[in-house]
Amino acid sequence: MSALIKVKGLTRIFDVSKPWLNRVIERLPKALLTAVSDVSFEVEENSVYALVGESGSGKSTIGKIVVGLVPPSQGSVMINDVDLATETDAAKVEAVRADIQMIFQDPYASLNPRWRVREIIAEPVAAKGGNTTGLAERLLEQVGLSAADAVKYPHEFSGGQRQRICIARALASEPKVIVCDEPTSALDVSVQAQVLNLMSDLREEFGLTYLFISHDLTVVQHMADRIGVLYLGRLVEEAPRDILFEDPKHPYTRMLFDAAPRMDGFGREVDPPKGEIPDAINPPKGCAFHPRCPIAVERCSRERPEMRDVRGARVACHLAE
């Protein structure tokens, strides 16, 4: 299988400095926040690639860069061998843009409350001057709503139904890739199950590729074929799902697995992880995880570990073997 999305050396730095005058008066340096740092991975066609991490790990930023909502500072994202940020051929850019769609976390904020559902769903096609007759009705039925819902407004739907409308909108332009940024974290479990099942069905029906961004390990374990674990903007471990869950190699991945509450963990006494995610403006030197790492050695605070292959996974840790 060929890789549909190729992310290479992706870096994104945000300038979060105070305004110029404050900096001069208070003699402050520029503050640069490295949200994503040197991230590389490939997503195969018709597979689900999941990015997991805690808040501030850069997972949403990567999603936004992939769809082109945020330009990268360095590195490239190739979709079908076209780099949206640098490609000059307008026709190619147009074609790739239609191939990639996004589903956002909050279905209450991502639908225009003044538009009817028909207009919302047909917009990705209408914007390109395509034929939208009956499109919204067909898609609504595909995502488990009724064609009669097309004339309603978003406020008439529940959270789960709204997320279905978002999915229908994402499908309108017949994309190959859908970037899903926490698509179910605003939903209740029983509704989450319905939406995840729908996403699995659609993937099979249309041969979709998902870049699935989530902090929920159980959801990721259910959905993903391949998983990348992010910590402070860096990929610390990447592996096929079963290898990652059976044999996590990076201490951060292990910590994440241990800390996640388990449904069979009755009265489990967790030794909770120490410390918190450090400030991304002044990340620790060397391996960013070393201040919290239970097995850190002196080398970890000096030298940043490179990604290397260890037993079927790619791990960025000096001590993984």
Partner 1 sequence: MSNPVLSVRDLVVEIPTRNGILRPVDNVSYDIAAGEILGVVGESGAGKSMTGNAVIGLLDPPARIASGEVLLDGKPIQGLKGEALRRLRGKKMGMIFQDPLTSLNPLLTVGEQLEETILEHLPISAAEARKRAVEALEEVGIPAAAQRIGSYPHEFSGGMRQRVVIALALCAEPDLVIADEPTTALDVSVQAQIVALLKRLCRERGVAVMLVTHDMGVIAEAADRVAVMYAGRLAELGPVRDVLTNARHPYTAGLMGSTPLASQGQRRLRQIPGAMPRLGALPQGCAFHPRCDRAEDRCRAEPGPTISACDGRAACWFPLGYPQEATG
**Contact residues: partner 1, CB under 8 A:** 54-55, 158-161, 188-194, 196-197, 200, 215-219, 221-223, 255-256, 258-273, 276-277
Q: How far is the CB of 173 from partner 1 (least distance, A)?
A: 27
CA distances from 215 to 57, 227, 228, 256 (A): 10, 12, 11, 10
Q: Whose Cβ is closer to partner 1: residue 204's or residue 309's?
A: 204
Q: Whose Cβ is closer to partner 1: residue 46's or residue 221's?
A: 221
Q: How far is the CB of 227 from partner 1 (least distance, A)?
A: 14
Q: How far is the CB of 254 from partner 1 (least distance, A)?
A: 12
As a whole number of angstroms, the distance between CA 107 and CA 101 comes to: 15
Q: Whose Cβ is closer to partner 1: residue 42's or residue 54's?
A: 54
Helix axes 159-171, 135-142, angle to 10 degrees: 120
Q: Whose Cβ is closer to partner 1: residue 91's or residue 263's?
A: 263
Query: How do 100-103 and 209-214 pair as beta strands?
Result: unpaired
As a whole number of angstroms, the distance between CA 186 and CA 261 comes to: 18
Q: How far is the CB of 73 from partner 1 (least distance, A)?
A: 25
As a whole number of angstroms, the distance between CA 9 and CA 32 comes to: 18
End-to-end CA distance of the chain: 28
In sequence order, the 6+-apart residues with CB closer than 8 A to the CB of 10 are 36, 38, 39, 40, 62, 65, 72, 74, 75, 76, 77
| Residues in a beta bridge with 309 | 314
Q: How far is the CB of 207 from partner 1 (least distance, A)?
A: 16
Q: Whose Cβ is closer to partner 1: residue 62's or residue 199's?
A: 199
